[in-house]
Amino acid sequence: MLANLPFLVVAVMIGLGLYTMLFNRNLIKIVIGLTIIENAVNLFLIALAYKNGAVAPIYTSAPSTSMVMPTPHALTLTAIVIAMATTAMMLSLIMQIYKHYHTLDAFKIRRLRE
């Protein structure tokens, strides 16, 4: 049970993120929801990579020969960089939206556009 705790946390975080995205009208909060989902997926990858008693795959004076497969960590690093880029992109778009409409409420923006 305890070993599955990270996966439960991932499920809860994805649920929270989706809830945040669906039930908030503030654009920044929608982006926060997306970031929570991104982090949940990264946590999922890291939790998958865990191997009991294994060491990092650095061959110089390694204490044991059971090593962790580094692929998920590499994937996580890539995913983090991509997530940063998308978040920066979305926040800069939101800044531009605020300059145009002087509000971040998605409903008010829709009304202003008409």
The one-character DSSP state at 102 is S
Collect all residues with Cβ–Cβ distance below 8 Å to 85 and sequence separation of at least 6.
none
CB of 61 to other proteins, least distance (A): 20
Contact status: 112 vs other proteins (CB under 8 A):
yes
Contact status: 54 vs other proteins (CB under 8 A):
no
The Cα–Cα gap between 91 and 54 comes to 40
Q: What are the C-alpha distances in Å from 47 to residues 1, 3, 33, 52, 86?
A: 14, 10, 21, 11, 23
CA–chain centroid gap for 107, Å, is 26
Contact status: 55 vs other proteins (CB under 8 A):
no
Nearest to 40 by CA among 11, 81, 18: 11
Beta bridge partners of 55: 67
Contact status: 32 vs other proteins (CB under 8 A):
no
Contact status: 13 vs other proteins (CB under 8 A):
no
CB of 63 to other proteins, least distance (A): 20
Q: In this chain, which of 5, 8, 84, 89 binds other proteins, going by CB under 8 A?
A: 89
Residues that bind other proteins (CB under 8 A): 14, 21, 27, 30-31, 34, 37-38, 41, 44-45, 48, 69, 71-72, 75, 78-79, 82, 85-86, 89-90, 93-94, 96-97, 100-101, 109, 112-113
